[in-house]
Structure 1
Amino acid sequence: MSTPRDDDALSWGGDDDPTLDVGEKRVSEAEPLPLQHEAEPEPLQPEPLSTSAAPASRHPGTAPEADAETTDEGDAEHSAPLGNVGLVGIGMIAATFLLFAVGWLVAGFRLRDLGLPIPDVTVLALTIAATLAPPVWFVTVLALTRGWRTWQRFLLLILGILLLVPWPFLSLGASV
């Protein structure tokens, strides 16, 4: 059996305040509250939705009634945040695009040293454009596909990886 001193160790000063109770109230410990003679307010009734407050359809030209079925199912997927696997995947793809940008930069400077019959200004401009292409693709896909499904976003990012491989860097290698 516990002593009152043990019970004091498990409580804080002011714990007996009835406004702090959130769970069950014990009849023996609860103090009776004074009765209020005011009438209880009526519960709020939801107002009917007007057509102006309805969300805009994704596809112009479709009726809101036809789109209502798809929004209930589709919005749950669109509004759900990425899970841990999705965030790690985005991070790996971002690192790949960053490495591709460095590869294009290195390849551009190596092409300049090959003595191609192209003016150096042109090679420099193309090197800058090629270096910026992977980060621009990554940011553009993430910004423009916010409402899309996760697999569609990853598909576009993987397409960018396939399109923006720094082939000059891979073909020249470290030999030059």
Structure 2
Amino acid sequence: MNSGRDDHALSWDGDDDPTMDVGGPAPALPDGFTAVGRGSDDVGHINDDGTITPAGEPAPLGSAALVTLGVIGGIYALYVIGWIIGGVRLQDTANFLVSPVGYGAALWLAVAAPILWFVTAFVLTRAAKSWIRISALVAGLALMVPWPFILVGAVGTVA
């Protein structure tokens, strides 16, 4: 039963065992430094608290970014409510022009649009910098405005 190791009583058992090799620390750089060249994809990131984020994983968001994402998420939730209220208010008027089935489908697509934009922008910018993610979400805020609610309001009438 020779395993390829020297099993003498005075040897350091396992010193040359390749299965015991843990390797050195993973290469990592702090903020402001960018690895270039061969092997740059394997370089991690050193966080402010000294922990190392492995390569390929996004750096954790800071407090300001989390608060900003929360505020933007709340505005998107208000947009969903605005699309529901504005769409229901216009339903009687819209039935003169569009079939009720078509209007119902369009209404629920309009209600789902802010949610879909938020989730899509959040997932697609997962590995990007925080300002890119926030820019994509702010662009959605400009595009997903619930115009029926703004123009008609919750108690207004269509003239």
| TM-score of the superposed pair, with normalisation by structure 1 | 0.59
Equivalent residue number for residue 122 of structure 1: 102
Deviations 1:94-136 (A, max 9, x none): 1111110111111111111225421111111110000000011
Equivalent in 12, 34, 52 of residue 40 of structure 1: 12
How many residue pairs are counted as aligned between the two chains? 121
Q: Which residue of 1 aligns with 2:156?
A: 175
Distance 1:117 1:149, change over 3 A: same
1:146-161 alignment runs, 5 A limit: 146-161=126-141
User: How far 1:66 moved relative to its partner?
Assistant: 3.4
Please say which structure displays the higher CA radius of gyration. Answer: 1
Give me the whole-angstrom Cα distance separating, in 2, the residues matched to 1:156 and 1:96. Answer: 14
For 1:66, give the aligned amino acid: G
Higher strand fraction: Structure 1 or Structure 2?
Answer: 2
User: Equivalent residues in 2 for 1:19-168 (5 A)?
Assistant: 38-41=10-13, 42=15, 44=21, 46=23, 66=37, 68-69=39-40, 72=43, 76=45, 79-114=58-93, 116-168=96-148
Q: Percent identity?
A: 31
User: Higher helix share goes to which structure?
Assistant: 1
Distance 1:168 1:67 in 2: 54
Residues 108 and 124, structure 1, Cα contact 8 Å, conserved in 2? no
1:144 Cα offset (Å): 1.7
* Structure 2: segments with no counterpart, 5+ residues: 1-8, 25-35, 48-56
CA RMSD in angstroms, aligned pairs only:
2.7
- Point out where structure 1 has 5 or more consecutive residues left out of the alignment: 1-36, 48-64
TM-score, normalised with respect to structure 2:
0.65
- The 2-side partners of 1:45 and 1:133 are apart by 49
